[in-house]
Amino acid sequence: MKAAVLHEAGGIPRYEDFPDPVAADGEVIIDVKAVAVENVDKAIAAGTHYASEKYIGRFPVIPAFDCVGALPDGTLVGFGGIRLPYGALAEKTVVPQGSYVPIPEGVDPAVASVMASAVTAMSMKAAAGFVPGETVLVLGATGVAGRLAVKVARLLGAGRIVATGRDDDQLREVQAIGADAVINTAVSDEALAQAYLDARGDGYDVVLDYLWGRPSEILLRALVPRSFAFGKPTRVVQIGESAGAELTLAASSLRTSGVEIYGAAKGLDPRTMEEAYQRIVTWTRSGELTFDMEKVPLSDIETAWQRTDLKGRRLVVMP
């Protein structure tokens, strides 16, 4: 079969022949239909992610570890649990029996492969207990997941949405899809802190943080009251780290600001995951939630893997 084959950490996957997977007892072969290539896939392939050793411990290996494909009987499924070295960026892969879920009827395979990025935005409910009418701040709103978070917040009934990014043109696009106010983080620390304060209105109720690092550190500093006060609760959901894996957290940022910090997995269990997924499916079918994608054939993986011009569109590889 043809596959995108990685030969070293930090390398570029090559379009090559690779031995077909053979199912062992308790396994099934999947015909791959669509693979959404996310930042985590590239970080693992680069060897910089904490899970890199698990997924690229030996070479050659096929990157990406979940996608949409067809069972032998033609049933369209989303799946994970791939047996290495058979990652998702190939014509076929192999997974344990039952490590997949049916894709709802009427949902295109390419769209289905991207839907997980929207599910992460539902952590505003599962982790932070969002209720309609609240103010939501999306840190990192110009990326794929961040734009979907703006859309999901609007669909959930956010009273006000503030979004951040580093490019004015892209921030205007984010306003067009539902943000009430935008903040460009490519300014000095002092200017960014003031921008957070100017845009907060009555205060940020929920923060969806796809950035961490500098922008989050400045936000947490800015939320510390200037005088003794009872801080309004601000529930920060930590989702991504595209601006840095670490930050310095002053004690006062928690002691007096009312800030509460949760990981995106807080509140998740099979029931809440299914509820979030079904809500995304409903919005997708109705056309209320749309997904910006750049579909490319598997044969173009070497060029596509290195693209930096997608600007809010998810790369979807179609074997």
> Using H for helix, E for strand and C for coil, what is the string for the chain?
CEEEEECCCCCCCEEEECCCCCCCCCEEEEEEEEEEECHHHHHHHHCCCCCHHHHCCCCCECCCCCEEEECCCCCEEEECCCCCCCCCCECEEEEECCCEEECCCCCCHHHHHHHHHHHHHHHHHHCCCCCCCCEEEEECCCCHHHHHHHHHHHHHCCCEEEEEECCHHHHHHHHHCCCCEEEECCCCHHHHHHHHHHHCCCCCCEEEECCCHHHHHHHHHHCCCCCCCCCCCEEEEECCCCCCCCCCCCHHHHHCCCEEEEECCCCCCHHHHHHHHHHHHHHHHHCCCCCCEEEEEHHHHHHHHCCCCCCCCEEEEEC
Compare 40 and 291 and report the one with higher pLDDT: 291
pLDDT reported for residue 55: 86
Angle at 129 between CA 126 and CA 131, to 5 degrees: 120
What's the pLDDT score for residue 103?
Answer: 92
Q: What are φ and ψ of residue 111, in 5° steps? A: -65, -45
The confidence band for 229, taking pLDDT boundaries of 50, 70 and 90, is low
Pair of tokens at residue 208:
């969806």
Query: pLDDT-based confidence at 173, cuts 50/70/90?
Result: very high
User: Which residues 6+ apart lie within 8 Å of 264 measured at CB?
Assistant: 120, 123, 127, 237, 238, 239
Non-local CB neighbours of 32 within 8 Å, separated by 6+ positions: 67, 68, 69, 88, 89, 90, 91, 92, 93, 319
213: left (phi over 0), alpha (psi -120 to 50) or beta: left
pLDDT at 54: 85
Query: Per-residue pLDDT for 178 more than 90?
Result: yes
Averaged pLDDT for residues 107-112: 94
Q: In which band, very low, low, confident or very high, does the pLDDT at 218 lie, cut at 50, 70 and 90?
A: very high
pLDDT at 71 over 80: yes
Percent of the chain's residues with pLDDT above 70:
99
The C-alpha angle with vertex 253 and arms to 160 and 269, in degrees rounded to 5, equals: 65
pLDDT tens digits for 256-298? Answer: 888 999 999 999 888 998 899 999 999 999 999 999 999 999 9
CA dist 209 and 225 (Å) reads 21
Pairing mode of beta strands 234-238, 67-70: unpaired
Global pTM reads: 0.90
Q: Is the pLDDT of residue 63 over 90?
A: yes
| Encoded tokens for 291 | 């997904």
Q: What is the pLDDT of residue 253?
A: 87
For residue 245, the one-letter residue type is A
Give the model's pLDDT for residue 228. 65
Q: What are phi and psi of 118, to 5 degrees?
A: -80, -30
Mean pLDDT of 219-239: 86
**Contacts with 150 (C-beta within 8 Å, 6 or more apart), sequence order:** 138, 141, 161, 163, 174, 177, 178, 179
Q: What pLDDT sits at residue 166?
A: 96
Residue 232 pLDDT class (50, 70, 90 cuts): confident
